[in-house]
Amino acid sequence: MPEYKAPLRDIRFVMNELLNMEQHYAEISGGEECSPELVDAILEEGAKFAENELVPLNRVGDQEGCRWDNGEVKTPTGFKEAYIKFVEGGWPSLSHDPELGGQGLPQSLGMVINELVGTANWSWGMYPGLSHGAINTIEAHGTEEQRKQYLKPMVEGRWTGTMCLTEAHCGTDLGLLKTKAEPNDDGSYAISGTKIFISAGEHDMAENIVHIVLARLPNAPEGTKGISLFIVPKFNLDTEGDVGERNGVSCGSLEHKMGIHGNATCVMNFDQARGYLIGPANKGLNCMFTFMNAARIGTALQGLAHAEFGFQNSLTYARERLQMRSLTGIKAEDKPADPIIVHPDVRRMLLTQKAFSEGGRALAYFAAMQVDKASRATTEEERQAADQLLSFITPIAKAFLTEIGFESANLGLQVFGGHGYIAEWGMEQNVRDCRISMLYEGTTGIQALDLLGRKVLMTQGETLKRFTKIVHKFCKAEAENEALATYIKPLQAINKQWGDLTMKIGMAATQNRDEVGAASVDYLMYSGYAVLAYFWAISAKVSLQALEEGGDDAAFYHSKIATANFYFKRILPRTHALAETMVAGADSLMELDDSAFAF
C-alpha cells in the first residue's frame, strides 16, 4: 500500500528559511495573527488530518469510484465522513473573511494545507478545493444580497461550489458556448443547456452545491463578448435563505475516465434552472477569471502533489528493493543483492523527483505569497506589483509544475519496475490521477500562449522583467561569493538569454503570428526551468549559510546542496535544446498541407 507523510521539514524550510513568510505575514493586512507557533500548530494538525483521514481513502476512491443513480451521485466509502470532520475542524474557512465566518488567515497558508490534502488524496481534495474559486467570484462580483445569501455557508463548508464552463462542442473556446439564460419576471434567469467535465458537479457530501455557470443572454453579441456569468444553486433558497426546493439542475451522467475516480466528473443538465446574474451582463469572462486564477494555482499544487507522492514512495521502495550489485563493489554484505538506490540510474530518477518536488514547492509558495500581496499589501502600488508578478507566474506554475509532476509520477512508476504497473503499489494510480492536471484549467498549450502571447509580448516584456530583475539582483549581490559560483554563473547566463530569446521571438512574430504558437510551449518549459534554477540557487545559499552557522540538521542542508548541484548539472541543461527549438520557426510545423497528413 502506498504511504504519504507530510514533508513538514521541507515545508518549514521553504516557508521560514527560503521565503521568510514570518516577515511576509507581518507586512500584510490580516497576517498579524500568524505567529510561528500558530502556523506550526496549523501545519501539524493539517498533516494529521491528511495522513490519518485521507491517505486511507485514496485507494478506496480509485477502486470504488462514484456511483450515479437517477441524477444523483454517491461518493466512495468514507468520503462523506471525512468531509464532515474537515468541516468540523474549520478547515474550509481558514483563509476567508471573518465577517463571512472565516478565520481571516492568509491564502498562502491555506494553499499549504491544500498541498497536504491534495497529496494525500487528490480526488477527495477537489470537493472542498473548487469551492474557494466560487467563493472568490461571488465575493468579488456578486451583489450584496448574493454575498449575504451564499458566502457564509460556502465559507463554513456546509455548501460547496463548482464552475460550469465547458460544453461538448467548444472545449477551451468558450466563445462557442450555447447555454442560454432567459430573463424571468422576478429578475432571475432560466438557465438551459448542458455542461461537461464538471468536477464535483454532483455529490452527497454537502447540503447544497452552488454552480457558477457561463451562459448567453438573448440577443447577446457573438463570441466571448456575449457571455454572462450566473449563480445556479442545486437547491433554491427559501425566504429565510435556507435550502429549499430542488432547482432544475441535475447530473446526466458520470464521465468514465482515466483517473481521479473518487471525484465525480459530471455531465450537468440545466433545464430552466433558476439562476442569478453575477457582475455586468456580457462580461462573464472577466468575472470568471477571478475563479480561473485561483483554480490554476490550485492545479499547480496538483503537479507538486503527484511529484511528492511519487518521490516518497519510490524512495522507500528503492531503499528496500534488492537487485544486482553495485558496480563499485558490494554495499550490503549481509544481503544477497544491494538495494537499488545504489545504482546511478535509480539515483537519477530519485533526484529528478526530489529536485522537482522541492523546487516546485518553492515556486508554488512564492506564487501563493503574491496572491496574499495582491489582496492584502498595505499600498496600492504593492498590490498592483504583486498582481502583475502573479499574472506572469501563474501560467508557468500551472503548466510547468503539472508537466514535471507527471514526469515525476512516471519516474516513480519506473523505479518500481514491473511492480509499479501493478495497482497495489499505487504508482500507476498516481500516474493516472496526475494526467488530468495538464488538461484542465487550460492545457499546457493554452497556458503557454497566455504566457508568451498575452503576458510577455503584449506587455513588451514588462511582466518578464518583473521576475528577471529579481534574479538579476540576487546574482549581482552574490557575484563575489565563490561558494555560489557554480549556480550564479549559469543563472546569470540563462537570465540574460531569456530576454534575448523573447526579443527574437517577438521580432519573428511581427512577420508571422504563427511564430508565437510555434515557440510557446518550448518557451514556457524554458521559463519553468529558469525559475526553478533561481529557487535552487537561493536554496543552496540558505543551506550553505546554515551549515556555516552549525546546528543539528546538517544532513538536511547537505541534501539541499547536493540536489541543487544535480539540478544545475543534470536538469537545467535541458534549456539548451529548448533555446534552439523555440526559435526554429513555424515553417517546420506549418509547411505540410492539412490534406497531406496521411496514414
Q: E strands within 165-242?
A: 180-183, 189-199, 208-215, 228-233, 235-237
Count Cβ atoms below 10 Å from residue 63 Cβ, excluding itself.
Answer: 13
Whole-number pLDDT of residue 289:
76
Q: Is the pLDDT confidence value at 430 over 70? A: yes
Count Cβ atoms below 10 Å from residue 230 Cβ, excluding itself.
Answer: 25
Mean pLDDT of 48-74: 97
Q: In angstroms, rounded to a whole number, what is the distance separating the alpha carbons of residues 502 and 52?
A: 47
Q: Is the pLDDT confidence value at 295 over 80? A: no
pLDDT digits (tens, 9 = 90+) for 395-404: 999 999 999 9
Mean model confidence pLDDT for the chain: 95
389: which residues sit within 8 A by CB, 6+ positions away?
A: 370, 463, 466, 467
| Catalytic pick among 139, 358, 441, 515 | 441
With cut-offs at 50, 70 and 90, classify the pLDDT of residue 593: confident
Mean pLDDT of 454-461: 96
Q: In angstroms, rounded to a whole number, what is the distance separating the alpha carbons of residues 20 and 25?
A: 9
Per the CB < 8 A criterion, the answer to whether 438 and 318 are in contact is no
Each as own residue / partner, the long-range contacts of residues 573-579 (CB below 8 Å, 24 or more positions apart, any chain) are 574/525, 574/529, 575/494, 575/497, 575/526, 575/529, 575/530, 578/522, 578/523, 578/525, 578/526, 578/529, 579/497, 579/501, 579/526
Q: In angstroms, rounded to a whole number, what is the distance separating the alpha carbons of residues 291 and 360?
A: 22
For 22, 45, 49, the CA distances from 113, given in Å and listed in that order, are 17, 10, 10
Q: In angstroms, rounded to a whole number, what is the distance separating the alpha carbons of residues 391 and 395?
A: 8
- Supply 285's cell numbers: 469572462
Alpha helices in 105-243 (DSSP H): 107-120, 122-129, 131-141, 144-156
- Which residues on adjacent β-strands are paired with residue 244? none
Whole-number pLDDT of residue 290:
67
Q: In angstroms, rounded to a whole number, what is the distance separating the alpha carbons of residues 297 and 322?
A: 40
- Which residues on adjacent β-strands are paired with residue 180? 192, 216
pLDDT digits (tens, 9 = 90+) for 173-227: 777 889 999 999 999 999 999 999 999 999 999 999 999 999 999 999 988 889 9
Whole-number pLDDT of residue 583:
97
Per the CB < 8 A criterion, the answer to whether 188 and 260 are in contact is no
Burial class (CB in 10 A: 0-12, 13-18, 19+), 158: middle
For 107, 306, 340, 374, 472, the CA distances from 369, given in Å and listed in that order, are 8, 22, 39, 9, 20
Whole-number pLDDT of residue 304:
98
For 33, 538, 551, 553, the CA distances from 37, given in Å and listed in that order, are 10, 25, 21, 20
Cα–Cα nearest to 150, from 278, 305, 309, 300: 278
Q: In angstroms, rounded to a whole number, what is the distance separating the alpha carbons of residues 430 and 119?
A: 10
Mean pLDDT of 507-533: 97
Mean pLDDT of 65-90: 97
Whole-number pLDDT of residue 316:
98
Whole-number pLDDT of residue 169:
81
pLDDT digits (tens, 9 = 90+) for 525-562: 999 999 999 999 999 999 999 999 997 899 999 999 99
Mean pLDDT of 428-439: 98
Query: Would you list the DSSP string of 510-539?
Result: TT-THHHHHHHHHHHHHHHHHHHHHHHHHH
pLDDT digits (tens, 9 = 90+) for 325-382: 999 999 999 999 999 999 999 999 999 999 999 999 999 999 999 999 999 999 999 9
Annotate 311-336 with b (16+ C-beta within 10 A) or e (fewer): bbbbbebbeebeeebbeeeeeeeeee
SS3 343: coil
Q: In angstroms, rounded to a whole number, what is the distance separating the alpha carbons of residues 220 and 35?
A: 51
In this structure, the strands spanning 180-183 and 159-164 are: unpaired
Q: Is the pLDDT confidence value at 598 over 90? A: no
**What share of the chain in percent tops pLDDT 70?**
99
Per the CB < 8 A criterion, the answer to whether 2 and 59 are in contact is yes
Whole-number pLDDT of residue 49:
98
- Supply 422's cell numbers: 501493478
Per the CB < 8 A criterion, the answer to whether 352 and 571 are in contact is yes
pLDDT digits (tens, 9 = 90+) for 257-290: 999 999 999 999 999 999 999 999 999 888 887 6
Residue 441 is a catalytic residue? yes
With cut-offs at 50, 70 and 90, classify the pLDDT of residue 594: confident
Per the CB < 8 A criterion, the answer to whether 553 and 12 are in contact is no
SS3 250: strand
Whole-number pLDDT of residue 294:
66
For 260, 387, 457, 506, 534, the CA distances from 461, given in Å and listed in that order, are 38, 16, 6, 9, 19
Whole-number pLDDT of residue 291:
62
Q: Is the pLDDT confidence value at 596 over 90? A: no
